[in-house]
Structure 1
Amino acid sequence: MTYRSDGTCRDAGNISQSFEALPVKAEKIHSLTSLRSFAAAMVVVFHTRREFGYFGLANHLALTQAVSLFFVLSGYILAHTHRTITSKNDLRSFYLKRFARIWPLHLAGAAAAAWLIHFEGGSIAGAAAVLNVLLLHAWSWNINDYFSLNGVSWSLSDEAFFYAVFPLLIWRANTTWAVKLAGTVLLTAAMLLAFKNMGRPLMLWSAYISPITRLSEFMMGIAAYQLREKLGRAIKTGWPASVIEIGVALIAVSAVWAADLKFVSDLPFHPNKPVAIWLSNCGAAIVFALLIAVFALEKGILSRLLNARPLIYLGEISFALYMVHQLVLRYAEDHGYMTPSYSISTKAIAYWLAAIAVAAVAHHLIEIPAQRLVWSRLTARHNVIA
């Protein structure tokens, strides 16, 4: 560092610019982090229903709606953490951080799934494996492709697409969100209409798996974030906010109940099967957007309860739990740990503890180190030296 004759630092301007160029971490919204734990739990209960049942109440809920909650949450949180992307550095930073967020754990899950398949005496199609590792498998309507290896990873393929187009969606979002939301909803409708006379595998792909179909849910999260200031002024802290939070939570639970496929398929107005599939799996998205927007304000009693540290931690490891829960179940079944000599409740408790433990390990040994590595590389590039 050198100084001019007047005592001022010659490099001060460069240092200031470097600090300005660094990505600034947005304040975490703990209530939304905790919500992720409930979404992950819904997915786990759904995927273990054959072994442990639905635990009573969940038997009448469309638990696959949890993926929709994840997508809407993703849109809202990214709009919060990356409100503007105005330079190449912003763009590079965004994509590297998103890569570090999902790909290392996805690769570890794919490798674990490949090992389990080999142990079970099965084989892996080369093309499907390549698509899976590259997070392109949700673009294939072949069920053997989009459910390949670690089956839940199809949603990461969708997320990768959302990340790819996010800079366009967030550009001038405060004035263009309504148009963009309408456009993505039209894309969803077009996908449902285009595949209405196809066989069930194609209808399932078009209504549930396709990144194009699911983009509207991600955009709902971005749109909800644009309304945060108006909503914040309208909702008063204290009991009014608590009443609204409780009401919105009840509406969300009701929507998940109403979206149950048996209920939806009996409705007289659904024009084709893709619509029924979409409603049963994604139809609560607009309610989730409202739920997230209200709880993000953290003005009522429920959002304060969601700030409990155990719930926050479960939310922090929820992505890892989502990624490992089926792998843990397959490992337990392959190695005889699901022996019928134990009661269902005992096996369920043991499974949940094991899945959460493995998720915690994956979170601390894969997720966090990968993100720290990327963050350190980003800061090092700016060469901020006093």
Structure 2
Amino acid sequence: MAKGSTIEGIQYLRGIAAMMVVFHHVRHVFGDVSGWTTFGSTGVDIFFVISGFIMAYMTPLSRDAMSDRRSDMRRFWLKRFVRIVPLYWIALPLTVVVFKIGLTDPRLVNDFLFFPRFNLQFPAEIWPALVPGWSINYEMFFYLLFGLSILFGGWRLLVISLSIMTLAILGAFWQFDSAPMRFYTSSIMVEFLFGMLLHSVWRYLSATGAGRRRWIWWLSLLGGFGVLAMNLQGPGFLTHGLPAVFIVLGAMFAFEGIRVPVLRILGDASYSIYLFHLLSFTVSWHVVRLLRLSPAVSKDMIPVFAIYVVVAAGAGIVLHHLLEKPLTRTGNALIKYFDRSRTSGAPLQISKVTP
């Protein structure tokens, strides 16, 4: 498979993981969540493993001169900025205004800079005003480490492994008071490393033809979800991260050659769904009232749940096409333009990109 081509199973999992997080947050519409499963929250663990895998998959090891590696590092960071930041900078202030949270909090600047801080409404939690953004803060820190590791060429995996493991060990032995230190020394960072290591496993299995034993990979995929559903106690990178590894590995081979349009659509829109689903709940609330349904009435629970889920998915898909894709396309075109202008002075051209 050529670099840059889409692994369908990964894209399907993105959609599934995004909807798992939506399910997790819809629970709160019904009041007390103590009787609900927390299974949906593990969608984030799947995202982290996928992220580690994709970074290794899309960024070949560089053995070029140091000047070329520095150029690769800058290009990597720019592409990640274009992919993540513009949409987040739209979702964040919208969330603050709509929910009227942290409007006068000076620490809101931290959220725009992806710098962790304690949440004003939930003082014990290290969350930005856009609560799902806590995982984006981890993503951005991982991109920082990954970009720096590009400078080390063939030693990249070793360098980033040592960096993440050192932070995780510090967090295991010391209880830090500051939000940044407590955040960056969380063992959840190990899940990104799992994804990078998984890339090496995937390459080996692909080369040996082991991926053709499809039943094994369906077992891996379903077994991983089964373990997550058990809600095992223990370090999250083991109880959630390792099952996520088997889920991602299983999906890559189990779905090979299989087309599931609904999952592909959700996967393409997963980032928009993830960022805007809480905002979509305000629309769902009005729809529920218009239909004279109530989350407090037992017979209404299923239709209410379905409305929130469908609106979240639909809003994310629309925003993906109307906002996310144009932003990403324009950003990538600007990167190409400035790359070319340094040598040829080529005119700016914005071309269609495949999501």
TM-score of the pair, normalised by structure 2? 0.79
Match of 2:271 among 319, 323, 334: 319
Matched, 1:349 2:331: no
- CA RMSD, 1 decimal: 3.5
Pick the aligned partner of 1:163 from 133, 143, 151.
143
In the aligned structure 1, how far is the partner of 2:117 from the partner of 2:186? 9
How big is the shift at 1:82? 1.6
Amino acid at match of 1:41: M
Residue 5 of structure 2 aligns to a residue whose secondary structure is coil
User: Larger relative CO (CA 8 A, sep 6+): 1 or 2?
Assistant: 1
Partner of 1:360: 317
1:151 partner SS? coil
2:351 aligns with: none
Moved more, 338-347 or 38-47: 338-347
The offset of 1:320, in angstroms, is: 0.7
Q: How does 1:216-365 map to 2 (within 5 A)?
A: 216-238=190-212, 241-258=213-230, 260=231, 263-264=232-233, 276=234, 278-279=235-236, 283-296=239-252, 298=253, 300=254, 302-305=255-258, 307-333=259-285, 337=289, 340-341=293-294, 343-365=300-322
* Deviation sequence 1:276-328 (CA, Å, 0-9, x none): 4x43x7632133234324443x3x4x4444x3222111101011111111111
1:111 equivalent in structure 2:
93
* Deviation for aligned residue 1:151: 1.0
Secondary structure at 1:230's aligned position in 2?
A: helix
How far apart, CA to CA, are the structure 2 residues paired with 1:161 and 1:155?
Answer: 10
Q: CA separation in 2, counterparts of 1:125 and 1:218? A: 34
Equivalent runs, 1:21-100 vs 2, <5 Å: 26-51=4-29, 59-60=36-37, 62-84=39-61, 86-100=68-82
Structure ID, larger Rg: 1
CA distance in 1, matches of 2:60, 2:95: 36
Task: Specify the alignment match of 1:126 in structure 2.
Answer: 105
Which whole-Å CA distance do the structure 2 matches of 1:337 and 1:303 have between them?
43
Give 3-state SS (helix, strand or coil) of 2:210's partner.
coil
Per-residue deviation, 1:176: 5.6
Retained in 2: the 8 A contact 1:169–1:219? no
The CA deviation string for residues 339-366 of structure 1, in whole angstroms up to 9 with x for no partner, is 5448222222222222122112221222
Count of matched residue positions in the alignment of Structure 1 and Structure 2: 329
The answer on whether the counterparts of 2:152 and 2:159 sit within 8 Å (CA) in structure 1 is no
Change (3 A) 1:61 1:348: closer
Cα distance in 2 for residues equivalent to 1:312 and 1:133: 30
Asked whether the equivalents of residues 49 and 192 of structure 2 are also in contact (C-alpha less than 8 Å), the reply is: yes
2:352 matched residue in structure 1: none
Alpha-carbon separation, structure 2, partners of 1:375 and 1:247? 39
Matched, 1:378 2:343: no
Are 2:170 and 2:185, in contact at CA under 8 Å, matched by a contact in 1?
Answer: no
The change in CA–CA distance for 1:168 and 1:287 in structure 2 (over 3 A counts) is farther
Structure 1 segments (4+ residues) deviating >6 Å:
none
Matching residue's letter, 1:65: T
Q: What amino acid is the match of 1:194? A: W
Task: Structure 2 unaligned segments of length 5 or more: list them.
Answer: 63-67, 348-355
AA aligned to 1:29 is I
Q: 1:185-196 counterparts in 2 under 5 A?
A: 185-195=165-175
Contact kept in structure 2, 1:76 and 1:224, CA below 8 Å: yes
2:225 is aligned with what amino acid? V
TM-score by length of 1: 0.73
Gaps of 5+ in 1: 1-23, 265-275
1:1-51 CA deviation, whole Å, 9 max, x = no partner? xxxxxxxxxxxxxxxxxxxxxxx9711212101111111111111111133
For 2:250 and 2:134, how far apart are their aligned partners in 1?
A: 29
